[in-house]
Amino acid sequence: MTIPEPAAALPAALDGQPIERITRDGVQYVVLGTAHVSRASVEAVQALLEHENFDAVAIELCDSRAASVRDPEAFKRMDLFQVIRQGKAGMVAASLVLSSFQRRMASRYGIEPGAEMKAAMEGGQARNLPVWLVDREVGTTLKRAWRSVGFWQRFGLMGGLMASVFDKDEIAEEDIENLKQNDILESAFSDFAKGSQPLYRALIGERDEYMAARLRESATRAPAVQRVLVVIGAGHLKGLVEQLKNQQRDPATLAGELAIVPPAARWPKYLAVGLVLAVFGLIAYAFTRDTSVGFAVLRSWILFTGGLAAVGAFAAGGHPLSALAAFIAAPLKPFRPGIPAGGISAMTEAWVRKPRVGDFETLANDVSHWKGWWTNRVARTLLNFFFVSLGTLAGEYLAGFHIVKALL
């Protein structure tokens, strides 16, 4: 049930702040909705901890995001070659874009992104309170969101990310306070999240369910806990409170189900493999008709796939050797399973232009402006991976179309 605020007057820092108080299974949850880059939100967290007694503090962070809040220098220790080799370049790039989205909004007002979460962690630790990390891993959320939408909507997601990088509009502090109505992930993909129910569910709805389940599960494991301060983005406030009121399933089972990454659809991979096999079948057929025709269509395959991959490398500001690696690797895709052409080109870029210590030190700040993606060697390597992969994909389809046209 929802219970009223304390009878005592609230401190001024809490005036107008979105706060809900709800009791479930004998535990009272004081849920504070925050804007992730708001000075007022930090003050509200501190005021609640100073004026009320709690047995635990729960925050809208997962393990990896909490680690980055505790240790913002973690990017300095990133093994770039391992990131590329393990196929995590896209995920790291997406995380950087999301962090830059927050950082750009916050830099003007002298407050670090996630400062209210850090204040909740430090305030809880200073009072020897357990700190519960109740959000789902951001990588799991992004993968579930990616796999919840169709092929064409994925281009919209990538476009939303890119648009957030190039957006130069100044943001007034009052507009930042209005972000209390949105989640940071929803804000980055706002147009698509509002228009796509599966995407909205993955970014917002599922996380409301997951965080409510984690709160219930954590409370069950700590029977002495009777009052919990919950600090979340205000875009989750209504949904989380509803889930705490009405959720009936076993919390551990529900959280476990929502933490599973669904398997990737197989048809895009089959389509890509089928396209390449069909193209090489056509090339073989062309050689049976006429050797000169065979060499002509083979040349088209090399020039389209290798050429557009190399263009992608140059578009990312890559070294000529990175472009050459892309040009060689892209046409050999059928004979080179494993690391994609984008990965080979990116590793070449990292080898030729080894990232300096300073690149890792300034990475978070550099990517908050679009030019930084081309000047910072770490960011440029990730950009190289993305652009070369995109160029290779475009080259395959264009080469297939050109070869079919040439044989008809």
List, as own/partner pairs, every contact residues 323-328 make where C-beta atoms lie below 8 angstroms and the sequence separation is at least 24, other chains included.
326/388, 326/391, 326/392
Q: Span 40-58, mean pLDDT?
A: 93
Backbone torsions φ then ψ of 289, nearest 5 degrees: -80, -45
Q: How confident is the model at residue 167 (pLDDT cuts 50, 70, 90)?
A: low
Angle subtended by helix axes 251-258 and 206-221, to nearest 10: 140
CA-to-CA distance for 360 and 381, rounded, in angstroms?
12
Query: Quick check: 379 and 371 in contact, CB under 8 A?
Result: no
> How far, CA to CA in Å, does 325 sit from each of 361, 381, 387?
28, 13, 13
Q: Residue 207: its pLDDT value, please?
A: 94
Q: Span 103-112, mean pLDDT?
A: 61
Which of 46-60, 321-335, 359-373 shows the highest mean pLDDT? 46-60
Q: Tally Cβ neighbours within 10 Å of residue 51.
A: 14
Q: Residue 172: its pLDDT value, please?
A: 56
Q: Residue 14: its pLDDT value, please?
A: 86
Cβ partners under 8 Å of residue 134, min gap 6: 58, 59, 60, 61, 210, 211, 214, 215, 218, 230
Q: Span 256-272, mean pLDDT?
A: 79
User: What tens digit of pLDDT does each residue of 320-353 get?
Assistant: 999 999 999 999 876 666 678 999 999 999 999 9
Q: Span 220-249, mean pLDDT?
A: 93
Beta bridge partners of 32: 19, 231
Q: How confident is the model at residue 1 (pLDDT cuts 50, 70, 90)?
A: very low
In this model, does residue 95 exceed pLDDT 80?
no
Q: Is the pTM of this model over 0.85?
A: no
Q: Which two tokens stand for residue 109?
A: 């007002």
Query: Quick check: 162 and 367 in contact, CB under 8 A?
Result: no
Q: Residue 329: its pLDDT value, please?
A: 93
Q: Residue 27: its pLDDT value, please?
A: 96
Q: Which two tokens stand for residue 89?
A: 């370049």
Q: Span 76-99, mean pLDDT?
A: 71
CA-to-CA distance for 171 and 143, rounded, in angstroms?
29
Query: Quick check: 177 and 15 in contact, CB under 8 A?
Result: no
User: What tens digit of pLDDT does each residue of 31-40 get?
Assistant: 999 876 678 8
Backbone torsions φ then ψ of 339, nearest 5 degrees: -65, 130
Which of 107-116, 147-156, 224-233 shows the highest mean pLDDT? 224-233
Query: Quick check: 50 and 13 in contact, CB under 8 A?
Result: no
Q: Where are the domains of the chain?
A: 12-72+112-258, 267-407
330: closest CA among 310, 305, 297?
Answer: 305
CA-to-CA distance for 367 and 99, rounded, in angstroms?
9
User: What tens digit of pLDDT does each residue of 183-217 get?
Assistant: 555 555 555 555 677 778 888 899 999 999 999 99
Q: Residue 32: its pLDDT value, please?
A: 95
CA-to-CA distance for 235 and 203, rounded, in angstroms?
11
Q: For the chain, how many residues are written?
A: 408
355: closest CA among 372, 373, 380?
Answer: 380
Determine which of 77-86, 217-226, 379-388 has the lowest per-residue pLDDT on average: 77-86
Q: Classify residue 124 as exposed, middle or buried by CB count within 10 Å of its CB (0-12, 13-18, 19+).
A: buried
Q: How confident is the model at residue 82 (pLDDT cuts 50, 70, 90)?
A: confident
Q: What is the chain's mean pLDDT, rounded?
A: 81
Per-residue 3-state assignment (H helix, E strand, C coil) for the chain: CECCCCCCCCCHHHCCCCEEEEEECCEEEEEEEECCCCHHHHHHHHHHHHHCCCCEEEECCCHHHHHHHHCCCHHHHCCHHHHHHCCCHHHHHHHHHHHHHHHHHHHCCCCCCCHHHHHHHHHHHHCCCCEEECCCCHHHHHHHHHHHCCHHHHHHHHHHHHHHHHCCCCCCHHHHHHHHHCCHHHHHCHHHHHHCHHHHHHHHHHHHHHHHHHHHHHHHHCCCCCEEEEEEEHHHHHHHHHHHHHCCCCHHHHHHHHCCCCCCCCHHHHHHHHHHHHHHHHHHHHHHHCHHHHHHHHHHHHHHHHHHHHHHHHHCCCCHHHHHHHHHHHHHHHHCCCCCHHHHHHHHHHHHCCCCHHHHHCHHHHCCCCCHHHHCHHHHHHHHHHHHHHHHHHHHHHHHHHHHHHHC
Q: Residue 99: its pLDDT value, please?
A: 67
